[in-house]
Structure 1
Amino acid sequence: MPEILILYYSRGGSVAQLARQIARGVEEVPGMQARLRSVPPVAPVTATAAAPVPEDGAPYVDRRDLEECVGLALGSPTRFGNMAAPLKHFIDGLGAEWASGTLVGKPAAVFTSTATMHGGQESTLLTMMLPLLHHGMVVLGIPFTEAALSSTRTGGTPYGASHVSGADNDPQPSDDEKTLARALGRRLADTARKLLA
């Protein structure tokens, strides 16, 4: 069954929660399946290594996941208006995949989480799109035909799914955030299915 790779880094759990909602949306499309993967943290001391398998959550990504997927959803918390270092570190190591065209023509989408409403969600989503464009992917957003995009008072943007965790760092998405994340997953899977036809 064709699979959409949902690849993310999550430190506080918010991005992981959005990833699960996107996966639900993907699997609402007949004949499509989600594959959840994460990236390991990076350390300032190069001798420090992460365990080869995470203690909980999605397994770490393997380059084979990129080859086998028919679409990609990329997620990260916001770090000063940009993606977090662990995800950027992984993407920076994809020179061979770029040269061989592993991701060319596959649909892609992005998602993020911030602590505050104006914490850089849209700039993070836009900067996450740049490497996907360099890889030749077909980048998708959320159209305003999704009613929750116009009514949300929490996260959700036309650039991708998002979550506002607030001062208490609540990882649970609001109803609108869940709705928009699932809509993004459905759109990604439906586009991939059409491109495969």
Structure 2
Amino acid sequence: MSEILVLYYSHRGSVRALAQQIARGVESVAGVTARLRTVPRVASVCTVGEPEIPPVGAPYADAADLEECIGLALGSPTRFGNMAAPMKYFWDSTAALWSAGVLAGKPACVFTSTASAHGGQESTLLSMMLPLLHHGMLLLGLPYSESALSVTRSGGTPYGASHLAGPDGSPTLTDEERQLAFAQGRRLASIALQLRPR
């Protein structure tokens, strides 16, 4: 069975909700499963040592997760129009994989959540694409053939699935956000199957 890595960081649950919906979309494609992984928080004070294994939720990602996947869905909340520090820190540690070309030619997509309607969803999605481009990944967006993209009043962009959490940080996805995240996962899995080496 081929696996799609759904790698995310979620502070208040919104990005996790999107990740779970993307994983459902991935698993709607025969022959593909989703591997949910997260990254540890970073401390404002420099600390040394390995992070503790999370007691609940997705395990922390490691190099093997990237090596073994046939495609990647990458998610982070928005921090000033950019990905959150824990996700950036994770990608900054992938130079060995980059130099070996481990991810080159694999398809990828991105997703995010913001508290405000104009809080930087699209710039965050674009910023998450940059390390993936450097790794040689093939980026997938959401086409307007997904009808929910034209009617959503909350999250959802052609750059990737998104969620408008509001000032209270609600992780409850709207119908359109759910549809778009599912469609993004399904599209990623379908294309990854077509591109995987035989």
TM-score, shorter chain, exceeding 0.5: yes
Moved more, 18-27 or 47-56: 47-56
CA distance in 1, matches of 2:143, 2:154: 17
Give me the TM-score of the superposition, normalised by structure 1. 0.97
Task: Confirm or deny that 1:173 pairs with 2:173.
Answer: yes
Deviations along 1:130-181, one digit per CA (max 9) or x if unpaired, are 1100100000000000000000001000000000001221111111000000
Question: Contact 1:72–1:109 at 8 Å: present in 2 too?
Answer: yes
Equivalent runs, 1:75-90 vs 2, <5 Å: 75-90=75-90
- Where does residue 92 of structure 2 map in the other structure? 92
Gaps of 5+ in 2: none
TM, length-normalised to structure 2? 0.97
Which residue identity does 2:3 align to in structure 1? E
Letter in 2 for 1:97: L
Off by >3 Å, runs of 4+ in structure 1: 48-51
Q: Note the aligned Cα RMSD (angstroms).
A: 1.1
Shift of 1:47: 2.5
The unaligned stretches of length 5 or more in structure 1 are none
Q: Distance in 1 between matches of 2:37 and 2:49?
A: 19
Aligned length: 197
Counterpart of 2:78, as a letter, is T
Q: Deviations over 1:80-139 (max 9, x none)?
A: 000000000000111000000010000000000000110000000011001100100000
Measure, in 2, the Cα distance between the counterparts of 1:19 and 1:2: 18
* Equivalent position of 2:113 in the other structure: 113
Percentage of matched positions with identical amino acids? 64
Structure 1 residue 62 displacement after superposition: 1.3
Measured in 2, the distance between the counterparts of 1:164 and 1:16 equals 13
